[in-house]
Structure 1
Amino acid sequence: MNALLKKYRHNDHALGIFFIICSAFCFSLMSLFIKRAGSLPTFQKALFRNLVALLVATVLLLRAPGGFKPKKGSGFGLFMRALCGTLGLLCNFYAIDRLGLADANILNKMSPFFAMIVSAFIINEKPNRVEILCVILAFVGAVFVIKPHAGFSASFPAFVGLLGGLGAGTAYAFVRKLGLQGERGPVIVFAFSAFSVLLCLPFVCAHYVPMSGTQLMYLLLGGTAAAGGQLSVTAAYTHAPAMEISVFDYTQVLFATLWGLLFFGEIPDTWSLIGYVFIIGTAVFKWYYNLYLKKG
């Protein structure tokens, strides 16, 4: 019996890793499709990306027992998750259009480190000294990627990409708070998607740029890939705890580097590669610390 339970837990852990890598693959494809859509306004790209997620969340809630009704007291958390997530998404898309795919993705992957900081204020989860050191090292890596010595105009898109990581990290902290309050996942996704669509719609109406059939196809593919990423990451964390598998989410940077090389001829420079080592290395150490050293 014990052998069966051990085998089941091992398989569950393997499934968790598989799904988190699938999520990273999907989100890297989202970045690729958004960039391939060409020179369209950021709000227009965000609108079409979130229309797909809104459709998926709506279908899920129509079939769910509780419908669209959120938990009592979740209103502020849902609003803040939607606002921060939308601002983070807009910053991320802005960076994708102006940076190499790998740089844009690694800056967005600063979100777990931002989440550690803001969680101290949102849900009173105080980071310990090791976690504070990890945040500092990750920010050192971000500085290498941003390259402030290159001048304001050159480093500004990277700085906006870092702000995208801040928005995403703050949104994740509010997702955790909502989860602790018992709010359902589809409600959180629906609120975020609906808010994003409503926020982007006026800007798109005022500054709409006609799209070719190919551009529309890429935007819809980007939205589909993002929906696949959301479903995959949800499946991953139902099979294994975040502290055991979250480090594998950084494979997104590897996928993005491959797409950038194959489709745009992008090769990260030495400064960016040093930054990747700092950020991914710190994430790996934090994963190892949480999984093994902290317990000991």
Structure 2
Amino acid sequence: MEETLKQEDLREKMIRDRHKGIACIVLSALCFAFMNVFIRAAGDLPSLQKVFFRNLIAFFAAWFVMRRKHVAFSGKKSNLLLLVCRSMFGLVGMMGNFYAVDHLVLADASMLNKMSPFFAILFSMLILKESLSFKQAAAVVGAFAGSLLIIKPTGFDIQSPAAVVGLLGGMGAGIAYTFVRILGKRGEAGPFIVCFFSGFSTLMLLPVFILNYHPMTAWQLGSLLMAGVAATGGQFGITAAYCYAPARDISVYDYSQIVFSAILGFFLFGQLPDVYSWMGYGVICAMAVWMFFMERNGGAKARA
């Protein structure tokens, strides 16, 4: 009887934790949507200048968390090259995303950035030599087909070069996540990986920031600072979400960022995605939902 009660209590706790995880990941998606809004609101500043401020704020936030949790570098010298690779590809991903935010409808830029999980699957196969099932391959191909509806190629011409940059940004983020997976397996803590990435990218952009500095109004500076704050909230939110529940149970809710971006883009900037973009959203989200249920079914079979 006691064992049955304990199992019920455990089941209820898992349900509560899953609900908390969903709430955190949706809140994270809202924060990242506002980050894109503030990046867009900062106006015609260079994308690299915007990335610099975003990562500068993220560095201090991650450093604070490291100090509070007493987290440090593992000391494994072999991880340094992996940390640099993660940071380089993460920087490419962020620059691509910020450029897309400045030149596309917010929902388009957000959706192209959400291609990163599909690229992570692809590069996990190439870098980690992980097997790729037929269903996973079909999901990746389907998502890429959906991205073409947003990019809108016509013959040998591309109607939206900024969309290509946004897609490359999603690819950079996907490769970066692959290196994060490797580093996690090798004992590096999440706050240190974030802190290293933020500090490394800030130092990389510092010469460009100094030599190509564009004066900012108080509004632009405030917008960039708020973008950094929103990004930090999003990072902490998604970290908390995956602490409460496994990715297979909550990852699909991260796509709520597209809904938030579409609403904010419409009311704040008068943006309205065209019918092809909406079709692309539908295809990519469908592939994400399909992967979500594949992972959940896989997890259920593993527990059985």
- Scaled to the shorter chain, the TM-score interval is over 0.9
1:90 equivalenced with 2:95 (yes/no): yes
Please state if 1:35 is matched with 2:40.
Answer: yes
Q: Name the structure 1 match of 2:3.
A: none
Structure 1 letter corresponding to 2:160: S
**2:133 match:** 128
Distance across 2 between alignment mates of 1:152 and 1:167: 23
Deviation at 1:71, TM superposition (A): 3.8
TM (norm. structure 1) is 0.96
Instruction: Identify which range, 49-58 or 103-112, moves more after superposition.
Output: 49-58
CA distance in 2, matches of 1:161, 1:138: 14
CA gap 1:117/1:24 in 2 versus in 1, 3 angstroms: same
Determine which of 133, 139, 146 is the counterpart of 1:141: 146
Paired with 1:37 and 1:119, the residues of 2 have a C-alpha distance of 35
Whether the 8 Å contact between 1:92 and 1:108 is mirrored in structure 2 is yes
Structure 1 residues 152, 30: closer, same or farther in 2, change over 3 A?
Answer: farther
Aligned to 2:221: 216
Summarize deviations over 1:206-240 as a string: whole Å, max 9, x none.
11110000100000000011011110111011111
Cα contact 2:37–2:264 (8 A) shared by 1: yes
Quick one: distance in 2 between partners of 1:189 and 1:274?
A: 34
Q: What is the CA–CA distance in structure 1 between the aligned matches of 2:103 and 2:92, rounded to whole Å?
A: 17
Code of the residue aligned with 2:90 in structure 1: it is G
Q: Return the letter of the residue paired with 1:203.
A: V
TM-score, length of structure 2 as denominator length: 0.94
Stretch moving more, 64-73 or 245-254:
64-73
Q: Structure 1 234/4 Cα, relative in aligned 2: closer, same or farther at 3 Å?
A: same
Q: Give the AA of the match of 2:210.
A: C
Deviates more, 1:251-260 or 1:152-161: 152-161
Distance 1:229 1:71, change over 3 A: farther
> Map of 1:160-171 to 2, 5 A cutoff?
160-171=165-176
| C-alpha distance in structure 1 between counterparts of 2:172 and 2:227, whole Å | 20
Name the counterpart of 1:245.
250
Structure 1 residue 204, shift from structure 2 partner = 1.3
Secondary structure of the residue aligned to 1:78 is helix
Return the offset for 1:140: 0.5
Matches within 5 A, 1:18-29: 18-29=23-34
Secondary structure of the corresponding residue to residue 189 of structure 1: helix
* Residue 186 (1) aligns with residue 191 (2): yes
Spell out structure 1 runs of 4+ moving beyond 4 A. 150-153, 293-296
Per the alignment, do residues 93 and 218 of structure 1 end up closer, same or farther by CA in structure 2, a change over 3 Å counting?
same
1:231-257 CA-to-partner distances (Å, cap 9, x unmatched) read 011101111111111000000000000
> Relative to structure 1, is the Cα distance of residues 140 and 284 closer, same or farther in structure 2, using a 3 angstrom cutoff?
same
Larger CA deviation: 153-162 vs 220-229: 153-162
Alpha-carbon shift at residue 203 of structure 1 (Å): 1.1
> Quick one: distance in 2 between partners of 1:127 and 1:283?
16
Deviations 1:153-205 (A, max 9, x none): 63210000000000000001111111111111111011110111111111111
SS in 2 for 1:24: helix
Report the AA paired with residue 199 of structure 1. Answer: M
Aligned residues: 296
Deviations 1:259-293 (A, max 9, x none): 11011111110110110010001101111122126
* Aligned: 1:254 with 2:259: yes
* Other structure's SS at 1:130 match: helix
- In 2, the alpha carbon distance for the partners of 1:106 and 1:255 equals 11
Residue number among 71, 75, 82 corresponding to 2:80 in the alignment: 75
| Residues in 1 aligned to 2:132 and 2:240: alpha-carbon distance in whole angstroms | 27
Q: CA 1:144–1:56 in 2, change beyond 3 Å: closer, same or farther?
A: same
In the alignment, residue 214 of structure 2 is paired with which amino acid? V
Give the superposition deviation at 1:151.
7.5
Q: Give the residue type in structure 2 aligned to 1:42.
A: S
The percentage of aligned residue pairs carrying the same residue is 44
Matched-pair contact (CA < 8 Å) for 1:77–1:178: yes
Aligned residue for 2:15? 10
